[in-house]
Amino acid sequence: MEIKSVGIVGAGQMGNGIAHVMALAGYDVLLNDINQDSLDAAMARIDKNMERQVSRSLISAEDKANGLLRIKTTLALPDLGQTDLVIEAAAEREEIKDKIFDTLLPHLQPHTILTSNTSSISITRLASRTDRPEKFMGFHFMNPVPLMKLVELIRGIATDEETYKACHDIVTRLDKTAASAEDFPAFIVNRILIPMINEACYTLYEGVGNVASIDNAMKLGANHPMGPLELADFIGLDTCLAIMNVLHEGLADTKYRPCPLLTKYVEAGWLGRKTKRGFYDYRGEAPVPTR
């Protein structure tokens, strides 16, 4: 099956990044959000990021112009029903994703493939609520989408081979690499990454080191490009906590217990870069550790 048009639900950091790469690869993109300001901000971000690629000679000015022309926006979720592939990139909460798919179902074409950019939630369970579990799979991009080369492809128990192959072909066309993951909590990347971040939170919580020493230790001692607490702020502490809860509930193993300090930061609304405060305070000229 040939995919020509892609509908994307959610114009946030992941959604606008997916729209960006899909448009540059020649797909017609319809980007949806519940808020017009979010759509306008997404288009401005895509324009800025494409311009950065032009300045680095990664794409031409013509590529940018054509890519932007391929992206349309809509506030009406049912409009996405006419696309060949839908990628849900909304908040990492299962009830929100279920509501999105429930709204979409009556408007879909028979051949439309449904996918979710979820970083941790069961694909089999999400698919079971739809009328096409065989045409449903996980399509997990890494952040920031235009830069990161990996896409996790997660088959639910009912996903058929044609659907998997169609999504794999898209990853290849995007010049990215597919990693096939089984449908277990948090898949591959976050199954390994988020518990590491959670352990860094425990290291801070127990007073083994402060924010700066923990991040510097991992950057200089393990050659990580970002420290784990800096990375947590970039991902969003609410997202990190949500994934740890999925791991804890889904695998019933105490080693996945979310750190109480991570929970406390989320309760305070200190979610990282997007709220200007997390493990670092971003309200000044340079980030300052909060502990």
Binding-site residues: 10-15, 33, 92, 97, 119, 143, 274
* Coarse DSSP helix, strand, coil percentages of the chain, rounded to the nearest 5 percent: 50, 15, 35
Catalytic residue among 122, 140, 198, 230: 140
CA 54 to chain centre: 24
248 catalytic? Reply is no
Assess contact for 25 and 66: CB atoms under 8 A.
Answer: no
**Catalytic annotation present for 140:** yes
Query: Is residue 190 among the annotated active site residues?
Result: yes
Identify the active-site residue in 20, 117, 120, 152: 152
Report the sign of the C-alpha dihedral through residues 267, 271, 145, 147, in that order: negative
Distance CA 241, CA 259 (A): 9
The binding site for NAD(+) consists of 10-15, 33, 92, 97, 119, 143, 274
Question: Can you tell me the distance from the alpha carbon of 129 to that of 116, in angstroms, rounded to the nearest whole number?
Answer: 13
Distance of CA 76 to the CA centre of its chain: 22
Per the residue annotation, which of 32, 117, 190, 198 is the catalytic one? 190
> Two tokens at 265?
């930061």
HSE-CB at 207 with a 13 A cutoff on CA atoms is 0
117 among known catalytic residues: no
Check 119, 120, 122, 198 and give the catalytic one. 119
Q: Which residues are catalytic?
A: 119, 140, 152, 190
